[in-house]
Amino acid sequence: MIDVEDLIALVRNYNPRSNADLIRRAYAYGMQMHEGQFRKSGEPYFTHPVAVAAILTEQQLDDATIVTALLHDTIEDTKSTYSEVERLFGTEVAELVDGVTKLTNLQLSSTESQQAENFRKLLMAMSKDLRVILVKLADRLHNMRTIRSMKPEKQAQKARETMEIYAPLAGRMGMQWMREELEDLAFKVLNPEARNSIIRRFLTLQKEAGDVVHKITADIRTELEKVQIEASVYGRAKKPYSIWRKMQEKDLAFSRLSDIYGFRVICGSVADCYRILGVIHQRWRAVPGRFKDYISQPKNNGYRSIHTTVSGRDGKRVEVQIRTREMHEVAEAGVAAHWSYREGVRAKNPFAVDPAKWIASLTERLDEEDHDEFLEHVKLEMYSDQVFCFTPKGDVVQLPRGATPLDYAYSIHTRIGNSCVSAKVDGIRVPLWTRLKNGQSVEIITAEGQRPQASWIDIVTTGRAKAAIRRSLREEDRGRFVRLGQELVRAAFEHVGKKATDKALRTAAKMLGVADEVDLLARLGSAELTARKVVETLYPELSLTVTEEVDTARPVVGLDDSQTFRRAECCQPLPGERIVGIAYRGQGVVIHAIDCPALEEFEEQPARWVDLHWHSGRHKAVNTVSLEITISNDAGVLGRVCTLIGEQKANISDLRFTERKPDFYRVIVDVDLRDVEHLHMVMTALEAETDVAQVARHRDVTRKP
């Protein structure tokens, strides 16, 4: 365990004005509080907080953060309290320790909905003071370094959590060294065979090719000396997990994998960075498509550097990163560079990002999203690399790798995204699913009346775009659901001789725990609730009447015993819809939906109108309705559509194609249904299918009744 004076010396190496007395008191208090506690390895527990504090000294952090590291487990694991820590060490330290305690209690590897809520809490804690997550990351790093003393199942759980959450978060904060070490430590637990295999292959490669890193480093230094540029050159083999991930992504064997060595050139000025780039490209051939200029277009965590990949000695591909010393400090510390101290004062690095602005960019719009969307957005933000595109006016738009013109449109404004109809990239019209590349100029073409399509969800990459599309679709669906719900509840109430008044619906909503009558109607329309349930809630004594099965021979009320009937082919009315009969001499009565356009020709013949309504109760699935469905022209899509209809207990009686295109088919499917609720269940199931672009009820007014 590091002695308190050694810890103070580590801090004073970068902060000679450090408050040594504060650190001594925190060290003594932490040791006292954890006395008698031991880690799984058998070591005194206090060795862990001291090791976490030492990790944070490597990032040259302030006294409050170092003291927080020494005390970070006291409130959770000892008899210490918030008020006592505040009294002894001040409000700033107490709030930081309390923040770390709350993060420790979050179960980030729990179920999806809990994980989303806990992610939200994690980001809220970060937004109050980012130093909380710096302590937590150092805590996780030391725990991963000493994970072997845990039970195997606990090791696996902690390693997965590290790989999914903490490593990406460290990377997003610009602390790439910590991300790589966390990933590699987790990889060692989760897939030790793969890691050992890569290490063995590395050793074999070194025996065959010699010390490649030393040779290439010397080559770069020689070239720089020729043009008299002063710079430090470092080289290393990439971490086993980084290599394994590339093998998986590119589906390559180790022997075919290039770019497994990385080199870094650190110089004195931005001008030197570009001169060095020229020297390297003159000496070695640049690999097309592998050049990134993060100096002119920095990442939003402050990272600046030039990346280029070249074919080096013996044709081996190597990545070279070129940056100034100030840029290197930010590249090593990331967002933490904001708190770094040098010579007793906070280092004023011009490239360090304001943590408040950084966390605001990460958490923007997250309050508007539900759990699943929130989690999706956060993970996209965590894992994304970036591309930089230009507006027609030359402004830069920063997007994650894999972004499309739709993502670009939504990044400008939600209204532009919602009304987007096409896009031009570098002046050429392209499909909306095109993946954008660095440096491209993008122009969005909009049209009034355009609305987001359900298929856009699968096209876009950013959380912002996905959230905006879902919100628009929900609003559009909600209006349709409310209208359908009104019809369903009206018919259900009429069946039992009641009226669906606003007061009755408000009462039902309250009894069912729904916000209000509008929300109740929306849930009815979306099949989350049934009209039968609403009636039974208000009038339980009438429930038997509602569930009684209807005789298919006489499903309507209002006909004489001698009158025959049939459903009109033009509008195909269903139980649950308002209907009217039109009498034909010698042919009985034809039943129409009340809104059927065919009824216009009978307006001057009131004697032929017959007042009808459907029998209450459960109708059999014998009422045929035609659905017009637009589907992707892909293998298996039609089969899935038929399966979905069957899963809703509906029978397909006929199917015909009306349009065949290279990318889509349009079909009319005749389905036998019980009532309007059954129809909506089928349509909802179809609309949820990714490969179904559109589904609508097909009513052919040209067909004779």
Active site residues: 76-77
Nearest to 556 by CA among 543, 546, 566, 545: 566
Classify each residue of 495-506 as buried b or exposed e, where b means 16 or more C-beta atoms within 10 Å of its C-beta.
bbeeebeeebbe
> Which residues in 253-284 are b (16+ Cβ under 10 Å) and which e?
ebeebbbbbbbbbbbeebebbebbbebbeeeb
Q: How many CB atoms lie within 10 A of CB 293?
A: 19
Q: How far apart are CA 56 and CA 235, in angstroms?
A: 25
Residue type, 148: R
For 508-525, letters b (16+ CB in 10 Å) and e give bbeeeebeebbbbbbbbb
Q: Containing H/E element for 386?
A: strand 386-390
Q: Are 416 and 423 in contact (CB under 8 A)?
A: no
Q: Which amino acid is at 382?
A: M
Q: Which position has the token pair 């980001």?
A: 123
Burial status of residue 247 (CB atoms within 10 A of its CB: 0-12, 13-18, 19 or more): middle
Dump strand ranges (E) for 129-284.
231-237, 261-267
623 residue type, one letter:
N
In angstroms, the CA 245 to CA 42 distance is: 35
How far is CA 662 from its chain centroid?
A: 32
Which residue has 């930089």 as its token pair? 388
CA distance 253 to 239: 16
